[in-house]
Amino acid sequence: MTLRNSAIALLLCFNACSSVRPQVTLEPGASLKDYRVFVVGPVTDETGARFNLDVVDTLRRQIADRLRSHHLAVVTDASADTAGPALIIASALVGFKGMPIMLQLSGPGITECRIESELRDGHTGRRVGRVVAAVLEERMKPMTVLNECAHDIGDGIARELRRGRVKKG
């Protein structure tokens, strides 16, 4: 194997076992900087997988907890009276590869997940943006991979929020 082929093989191995930075896309002219409350809505499961745990409730809790870890005001009840502009976060687990009936056990092979979240203004219902998180890990508990995916959603929102609050020029 040549040095070039060895380097390519090493890069492929490294990339196969990592999370991809969450992709945040905002609508033209939209910003997250004015939102004071983040409403984490229920997560839907669009994978068709038969999980042995209530994954959607866990993912919702993980997204909310991750946003709180960034010192953001979070509620999980959409009917809650918010004291400021609220951003509604509606998420869906749209991809999962792994052992859905053995979420707590590590095993051989690769586990992969993908969560997509739509961001909407709580007052107008207008779409503000979208966050997509994907994680691919080898020899890791599937539940840990799912939690990482949910954490990436929260981290992506927090990162975009910080970016919008930085004064430019």
| Confidence at residue 53, expressed as pLDDT on a 0 to 100 scale | 81
Inform me whether the pLDDT recorded for 8 exceeds 50. Answer: no
| Confidence at residue 169, expressed as pLDDT on a 0 to 100 scale | 38
CA distance 109 to 54: 23
Percent over 90 (pLDDT), the chain: 56
Instruction: Please report whether residue 49 resides in a domain.
Output: yes
Average pLDDT over residues 36-63: 92
Q: Name the residue among 105, 103, 127, 119 with its Cα closest to residue 50.
A: 103
Instruction: Please report whether residue 109 resides in a domain.
Output: yes
| Confidence at residue 130, expressed as pLDDT on a 0 to 100 scale | 97
| Confidence at residue 13, expressed as pLDDT on a 0 to 100 scale | 42
Q: Name the residue among 24, 46, 34, 37 with its Cα closest to residue 118.
A: 24
Instruction: Please report whether residue 90 resides in a domain.
Output: yes
Count: domains in the chain: 1
Bigger pLDDT: 126 vs 110: 126
Instruction: Please report whether residue 138 resides in a domain.
Output: yes
In the chain, the N- to C-terminal Cα span, in Å, equals: 51
| Confidence at residue 140, expressed as pLDDT on a 0 to 100 scale | 78
Inform me whether the pLDDT recorded for 87 exceeds 60. Answer: yes
Instruction: Please report whether residue 32 resides in a domain.
Output: yes
Q: Tell me: the pLDDT tens digits for 11-49?
A: 444 444 455 689 999 999 999 999 999 999 999 999 988
Do residues 53 and 103 lie in contact, with contact meaning Cβ atoms separated by under 8 Å?
Answer: yes
Instruction: Please report whether residue 5 resides in a domain.
Output: no
Instruction: Please report whether residue 7 resides in a domain.
Output: no
**CATH number of the domain within which 153 lies:** 3.40.50
Q: Tell me: the pLDDT tens digits for 140-158?
A: 788 888 999 999 999 999 9
Q: Which domain holds residue 124?
A: 19-165
Average pLDDT over residues 107-130: 91
Instruction: Please report whether residue 120 resides in a domain.
Output: yes
Q: Quick one: 65 exposed, middle or buried, by C-beta within 10 A (0-12, 13-18, 19+)?
A: middle
